[in-house]
Amino acid sequence: MSTVVSSDKRRESILLREVTQSGEHSQLIWLDENFDNSSDYRLAQSMLLEFNATLQFYSDLEQCSDFMNSIKNERVILIISGESAWRLLEQISTHPIIVAILVFCTNHQKDQWLINQCKKIIGIYTDQECLKESIRHMITRIEKQTLDFYLFHQKQRFGRNLAKESAAFLWHQMLIYVLKQMPQDEQTKDDMLKICCKYYRHSKKDLQKIEDFRLNYSSDKAIAWYTAECFLYKLLNKALRTENIELLVAFRFFIIDLCAALERESRYLKDQLPLFLSGNTNSNGRTSLAFAGQSLPSDDFQAVIFEITADPSLATIAFADIQSKAQIKDEEEVLFNLNAVFKIGSITFNSTTNIWSVKLTATDEGSEKVQAYMIWIKQELDEHTPLIYFGRILLFELGQVDQAKRYYEMLLKSLSYDHADIASIYNSIGHVYRCSCDLNLALKHFELAYEIRRKRLLPDHPHIAGSLYNLGDINIRIGNYDRALKYYQEVLDMDEKNYPGNHHNKAGTIKNIGRVYTYKYDFYNASVNLFRAFDMFKRALPPDHPHIARCLGCIGNMYEKKGEFDRAINYYHQQLNMEEQCWPPDHPNCWANLDAVVNTYKKMNNIKKALDICQEKLNVLKNTLGETHPCISRTLIIMANALSDENPNEAIKHYEQVVSIIQQTTLAEPLLMAKCFTSMSCLYRRQDMLEDAMIFELKALDLNRQTLPSDHTHFAKNLRNIGIYYRSMNNRSQALRYFNDSMSIYRAHYGPDHEDVKIVQTDINELNENQV
C-alpha cells in the first residue's frame, strides 16, 4: 500500500512497513491526523508492536478506511488521538469490523464526552501504560471469544461427500487424518518456525518465544505451549478458523503433537462421571459467566455461555481438563479436540444479564457416517498419497478451487523435483486450471506430469493412464474429438489390464468415450458406451455417488443433443437430485447442472417449470447459506437468463438484485459480477439498447481483466460481444478489430476446428461480405 495520500492533503500516513496478512484475530490501527516522528510516537509504536505485529499508523482517514475495507477475517481495535479525534470518530466509528475504539489524548476531562457518542469507545486514556494494558486486555478477549461452529442436521445423508451443512465438518475430520499421514521430522518443525518468525518479525517478545520453543519444546509439552498466550495459540487458532491451508500444513508438526496429547489426557477420564462445562470450555461456571459478561462493546456481538455435557466414555470425542498443564492457572480450562461434535439441546436468553445460554452435548452421533466415508478415502489413498489427496478433497469434494491451487503451489515450492509426488502435483495443478477454464495452463501442467511419469513409471502404470485421460479431457474441451478418442482408447486398453473387473476408473474412461461420440453426433456409439459406463459405475460404487451422477448428466446431454428433451430432462433431474446428496450446495457442479435443467426446459418452452425449480433451490439456499451468499447470486442469474426472452423487465430486476447482493458482501466476486454484467449486456442487445449493452460488456471485460490471465477464453467472449455491438452500430473497423482479437484467443486455446472459433470466423466472413 502506498504511504502517500492525495496531493491536496500533502501529508503522509506513517506506515511502519509493508502491510502483510495478520496472523491473529485482531488488527490494531492508530489514526491521528497530526502524526509526527517525535519520540513519543516512536515509543508508542514500539510498545504496541508487542501486542499486534501488523500494527498500522494512519494520518489520513480515507487511506485508513481503504485499509479496513481490505481486511478479511479480522477485527479492528482502533486508537484515535489528536485534536480532531471527535471528527474522525464521527466518520469512521460505524465501520462494521471495528469492535473497540480507544481515545488517546492529553486532557481526559476534555474528551470524556466522546464516550456518550459511541458505544464502541471503551475508554479515554492519557497514559501510555494504561492504554497498553487496555489493549492487551481487549486483544485477549477477542482471541478467547473467537469461536467457529459448523452446523449440520443429524439426519443429513453423507453419501461419498457431505452436503452443505456438513462439508466443513468433514474438512476438519479429514484434516487430522491427512496430516497424520504426512512426514513429521525436525525439518517440519523448522519450516513451521520460519513462518512464525515471518509473521512476528517486528515483535521482539514473540521472536524470543519462538526461539524458546525451538530450543526447549518437546511433544509432552504441547498442551502447555498451546495454552500459553504466545504466537502458537494465536496463529494456530486463526489458521483453523480461516481454514488457511498453507498455515495448517506448516503447523502439522504441532497439530499432531497436540491431538496426541489430548488423546492421552482423554484416556485418563474414561472412568469418571460426565463433565459439565460452560463458557469458553471453562470448567468453572462463575469464571465463564464473568468472562461472557465482558462482551465486545458493539451491537454486532452477543454474549453467549456454552454449557457442555461431555461423557469421557465417548469413543470419538477426545477432551481433557488441562488446568495442571495450562500456562494460565486461574481459568480452569477444558480443551476439546479439533473434530469434536456437539448436539444442540436448547438456546435461551437471560434478559437480566443479557447473556445467551446454549446447552450442548458432546456426541458420537454421525461418526458411523464419517467412518463410511473414511473407508472410501483409504481406497482412494491406494492411488494417491495423503499429500495429493488432501488437495483433491479441496478441489473435487468441496469445490474450493483457490484453496486447492494455493495448497498445490505450496507443495511445488517445498518439494524437490525428484520427489515421488512431483508429477502428481503438476497433474493436480492442471486440474485446478481446468476447473478455472484456463485450458492452456491446464494442458501445460498435464503434459509436464505426463512427461515426468513416462520417465519414471512402467508404460501401463495407472498414473500414465491418468495423464492420458486428462489429455483426452482437454481435447474434448477444445473440440479435437478424434485426438480425444485416441487418448481414451489408449487409456481403456491400460484399464482392461489394470482393472479386469468392474472399476470406477475404467467406467470413467468408457463414459468419456461416450461423451466424445455425443459431441461427434454418433448417438448409437454414444449410447452404447454411456449406458455401459453407467452399469459399471453402479456395480463398482455405492449409491448416490458423484461419478454415477455425472454419468447420468452425460446421458441427459446425449438426449438433449438428439432433441429428445423429455428423456434429457429425466436424466438431468436424476443427476441434480443425486448431486444434491453428494456435493455441498456451493459446489460449482451444482450450478452447471441447474443451468442444464433450466436451459432444457427453456427449449421445451416450459419457462414456468424452470423458474419453479430455481425458486425452490433459492429458498433452500437462503435457509442454509443466508441471503447474500454467492450461490444466491448464481441462482438469480440462471433465473434471469431463463426470463430474458419472455419477461426482460423481470430479468433485469434479477440481475440488479445480483449486483446489489455482491456489493453488500465483503467477499470480492469479480468473476460472478462479470458474468452478471455479460448477461445483462446480451439482454440489452436483444432489446436493441446497444449503448447499455456496450456499457455492461465493457464493465464485464474490466472485471475479468482484474482477475484472469490476458488470454483467458472469458475475454474472447467479451471481445466478440463488443464486436457484435460495433457491427450493429455500423462501425466495421472496430467490429473487425474485436472479432480478430476474440479469434486469436479462441484459436490459441482451441485450435481451428472448435465451435467457438467457427462462430467468430463466421462473424468475420459476414462482416467482409457485407462490405463487398
- Please classify residue 527 by burial: count the beta carbons closer than 10 Å to its beta carbon, then call 0-12 exposed, 13-18 middle and 19+ buried: middle
Nearest of 673, 642, 668 to residue 656 by alpha carbon = 673
**pLDDT at residue number 609:** 94
- Please classify residue 317 by burial: count the beta carbons closer than 10 Å to its beta carbon, then call 0-12 exposed, 13-18 middle and 19+ buried: buried
List the single range of 79-93, 282-296, 627-641, 684-698 with lowest mean pLDDT: 282-296
Nearest of 270, 268, 262, 263 to residue 333 by alpha carbon = 262
Whether the predicted pLDDT of 650 surpasses 50: yes
Which residues belong to CATH 3.40.50.2300 in the chain? 26-144
Burial code of 19-54, b = ≥16 C-beta within 10 A, e = fewer? eeebbbbbbbbbbbbebeeeeebeebbeebbbbbbb
Between 199 and 601, name the one with better pLDDT.
Answer: 601
**pLDDT at residue number 279:** 33
To the nearest whole number, what is the mean pLDDT of the chain? 80
List the single range of 326-340, 426-440, 516-530 with lowest mean pLDDT: 326-340
Strand 26-31 and strand 56-58: the pairing is: parallel
pLDDT digits over 547-556, tens only? Answer: 999 999 999 9
Q: What integer is the mean pLDDT of 317-340?
A: 65
Helix (H) or strand (E) holding 99: strand 98-104
Reading phi first (left if > 0) and then psi (alpha if -120 to 50, else beta), residue 720 is in alpha
Q: Cα–Cα distance between 322 and 227 in angstroms, integer? A: 9
3-state secondary structure at position 632: helix
**pLDDT at residue number 42:** 66
DSSP string covering 222-271, please?
Answer: HHHHHHSSSHHHHHHHHHHHHT-HHHHHHTHHHHHHHHHHHHHHHHTTTT
**pLDDT at residue number 154:** 42
Whether the predicted pLDDT of 265 surpasses 80: no
Between 273 and 370, name the one with better pLDDT.
Answer: 370
Q: Cα–Cα distance between 550 and 547 in angstroms, integer? A: 5
Cβ atoms of 346 and 306 within 8 Å: the answer is: no
**pLDDT at residue number 724:** 95
Q: What integer is the mean pLDDT of 118-135?
A: 82
Between 109 and 672, name the one with better pLDDT.
Answer: 672
Predicted confidence band of residue 36 (pLDDT cuts 50, 70, 90): low
Q: What integer is the mean pLDDT of 695-714?
A: 89
Whether the predicted pLDDT of 767 surpasses 50: yes
**pLDDT at residue number 275:** 42
**pLDDT at residue number 241:** 72
Q: Cα–Cα distance between 258 and 252 in angstroms, integer? A: 10
**pLDDT at residue number 20:** 43
Between 28 and 582, name the one with better pLDDT.
Answer: 28
Nearest of 638, 639, 568 to residue 600 by alpha carbon = 568
Between 215 and 228, name the one with better pLDDT.
Answer: 215
List the single range of 14-18, 358-362, 510-514, 729-733 with lowest mean pLDDT: 14-18
Between 508 and 305, name the one with better pLDDT.
Answer: 508
Predicted confidence band of residue 14 (pLDDT cuts 50, 70, 90): very low
Whether the predicted pLDDT of 331 surpasses 80: no
Whether the predicted pLDDT of 743 surpasses 80: yes
Whether the predicted pLDDT of 276 surpasses 50: no
What is the CB-side half-sphere exposure of residue 157 using CA atoms within 13 A?
A: 13
List the single range of 117-131, 168-182, 352-366, 461-475 with lowest mean pLDDT: 168-182
Whether the predicted pLDDT of 380 surpasses 80: no
Q: What integer is the mean pLDDT of 24-43?
A: 70
Q: What integer is the mean pLDDT of 365-374?
A: 60
Whether the predicted pLDDT of 45 surpasses 60: yes
List the single range of 241-255, 417-431, 578-592, 621-635 with lowest mean pLDDT: 578-592
**pLDDT at residue number 377:** 60
HEC profile of 647-710: CHHHHHHHHHHHHHHHHHCCCCCHHHHHHHHHHHHHHHHHCCCHHHHHHHHHHHHHHHHHHCCC
Between 692 and 101, name the one with better pLDDT.
Answer: 692
For Cα atoms 678, 680, 685, give the angle at the middle one, nearest 5 degrees.
95
Q: What integer is the mean pLDDT of 59-65?
A: 81
Q: Cα–Cα distance between 595 and 610 in angstroms, integer? A: 9
Q: Cα–Cα distance between 654 and 658 in angstroms, integer? A: 6
**pLDDT at residue number 37:** 58
Q: What percent of the chain has pLDDT over 70?
A: 79
Q: What integer is the mean pLDDT of 273-294?
A: 45
The DSSP symbol for 273 reads P
**pLDDT at residue number 83:** 66
Class of the CATH-defined domain 26-144 = alpha beta
**pLDDT at residue number 629:** 82
pLDDT digits over 395-418, tens only? Answer: 887 778 888 998 899 888 878 889
**pLDDT at residue number 11:** 30
Nearest of 624, 163, 177 to residue 397 by alpha carbon = 163
Strand 303-310 and strand 275-277: the pairing is: antiparallel
Between 366 and 121, name the one with better pLDDT.
Answer: 121
pLDDT digits over 751-762, tens only? Answer: 888 889 999 999
Q: What integer is the mean pLDDT of 577-601?
A: 82
CATH number at 164-368? 3.90.176
**pLDDT at residue number 159:** 35
What is the CB-side half-sphere exposure of residue 52 using CA atoms within 13 A?
A: 34
**pLDDT at residue number 675:** 92
